[in-house]
Amino acid sequence: MKNNRVYMQVGAADKREDFQLWYADGDTFVTVKKKDWNNEKDRVAIYNRFGGEMARIKTDPKGITYHVGVERYEYELHTYTIFEHYFFKGMLWEIEGGLPDKQLDLRNTGTGKLDARISTVKFKDKGTCYEIKVKDVSKLRIAACCVIAIALKESYKGLSEGEPQEDQKFWQKWRKLVFDSKGVSYEEIQARKASEEE
């Protein structure tokens, strides 16, 4: 089944220009466009191969959470620790790792099932690409938009929320997110890791 996978060039978001994702036969799957590629908070539009807007990605005012709208549904990409731990709310995907890893799994925390797998492969004349492969074709667009959002977040080295605390009550989590969360910068995360290694 070849229509259950699409390909995105590694480093496409780093080029700061519009890019495409392709089906296995090389036809265009979606085109990703943005007015100002130098501004992380600028809205991203994702167009299907016929030119209609299929999805959009925008950040919250602080630039911590990415809101991903696919057709009429809304999802959120929560970056707990950039390059290491993400949660895609709406699909309940727990994502351990980042795109530079050889393989990345989008696993549903409710069912425990693997919904999608992202791996790095050589693809036709496009060079090294991320292969986004799903078991259920109805989840292909959502998985592709999730990967695009992660690629943008990692490209800009955006802010992280910090790891969730399991023992906190709902209102404590909400208060932290709304009032206390200023985000953790990539540099702060690297400094923390360096001090832990010493």
5-197: which CATH topology? Porin (2.40.160)
Nearest by Cα to 82 from 121, 40, 116: 40
What DSSP letter does each residue of 122-154 carry, written as one string?
EEGGGEEEEEEEESSGGGHHHHHHHHHHHHHHH
130-184: per-residue pLDDT in tens?
999 999 999 999 999 999 999 999 999 988 988 876 666 666 666 665 566 678 8
Domain ranges of the chain: 5-197
Q: What is the pLDDT of residue 188?
A: 86
